[in-house]
Amino acid sequence: MRTAPGQVVAGRYRVTDRPEDESGVPAVDVHGGARVRLFALELPELLVPGHPPGAPAPSYGPRLTARVAQVAAAAPAHPRLLRGLAAGPEGDLLWIAEEAVPGVPLEQLAGNGPVSPYRVAEIGADLAGALRALHGAGLTHGNLTDRTVLVCEDGAALLGGLLLGAAEEELCAALGGEVPRRVYETRALMLGPRAERWAIDPGAPADTWALGVLLYRLLTGHGPYPEHDLPTLLAAVRDGRHHPADGCGPLRPLVERLLRPDARHRPDAEAVQRELRELLAFAPEPYPDGPPDPLLPVPRPAAGPLVPRPRAARRRPAPPATDRQAPARPPRVAPALLGPLILAGVLALLVAAIAAIVLVAG
């Protein structure tokens, strides 16, 4: 992305640092001071059949901006959904802003191989909750991949990329026009053979199918379909030919239902969330033997304590007096022996005094 710290893009967002990963460009809103993440979508030249040569090509930046604003206004507030803010064209780029929270992209954390089934179930339950909220608002996400999921320090998974996905699909429609073949070719160039983005059916069933693909990818370390080229991928998706789900462990039945070609036989987001929560309720205690498996550790700051230091304990005030007092402690010396002990002490002092007089006089 052609940005540098201090640069203001889309007339509103000042870049604060260079991006270190695929989670966007860190920036701050110069109007309100909120920290955001910026994503840039390239706007290639729009070719319109029959358009006079040399005449200015029609601009579709406003069309994409209007579509993004429409989706942002309709998106519900949900604790597992990253809030998309706005979009603005600048030259040949469309800048999309999303709220910034501390976390690490799921793609980066899951790059070391398969993840524990119960950790995947936690992530899946979070994402199913976010999809459930979107579907309840009449929206489709359409951009659910390990690149659009952020894992926070507490382990929660947040789903982002809603506005970016809406802008990409609108751009494909603008470039392809009324010709389905051109729309397909545009999507192929823009998205590549990434299985989660190529569901057969549209709408909410496409999101739950993409969730099944993502769960499979996390559990096995690879996608359920061949992804070396797009025609092979699409043929396998259309025919329902995915790799065996043997490595999915206790999540295998759910993953296989999510990957069914017929959307009528797939569970919706609410059913997925409920099933994953039931699985987690009966999950075994972690790390019963030996060292723990990696559960997507999140890098923490090198300086400073990880948890707040406990405050010094304050003295508890004496309890108020009540009619029922606690039983008194028994005395260390029995009352019957107290008198003889005092008398013996007095006699010992007298003997010591007489001895001292005799020594001085003698």
d(CA 80, CA 133): 9
pTM confidence score: 0.76
pLDDT above 70: residue 317: no
pLDDT in tens, 147-163: 999 999 889 999 999 99
Q: Are 262 and 249 in contact (CB under 8 A)?
A: no
Domain boundaries of the chain, sorted by first residue = 8-281
Integer CA distances (angstroms), 40 to 60, 98, 143, 194, 260, in order: 15, 11, 15, 19, 34
pLDDT band at 312 (very low <50, low <70, confident <90, very high): very low
In the chain, the percentage of residues whose pLDDT exceeds 70 is 77
Segment 14-29, tens digit of pLDDT: 999 887 666 789 999 9
CATH of 8-281, one of 3.40.1260.10, 2.30.110.10, 1.10.510.10, 3.40.50.720: 1.10.510.10
Q: How far apart are CA 120 and CA 295, in angstroms?
A: 9
Cβ burial of 85 (10 Å; 0-12, 13-18, 19+) is buried
pLDDT of 306: 35
CA–CA separation, 46 vs 163, rounded Å?
21
Q: What is the pLDDT of residues 287-300, one digit of tens each?
A: 545 444 444 444 33
Two structure tokens written together for 164: 């970016």
Looking at every residue in the chain, the average pLDDT score rounds to 82
Long-range contacts of 231-239, Cβ-Cβ distance < 8 Å, separation of 24 or more: 232/193, 233/193, 233/195, 233/198, 234/198, 237/195, 237/198, 237/199, 237/200, 237/261, 238/200
Predicted confidence at residue 350, as pLDDT, reads 75
Copy the structure tokens of residue 291. 């060292």
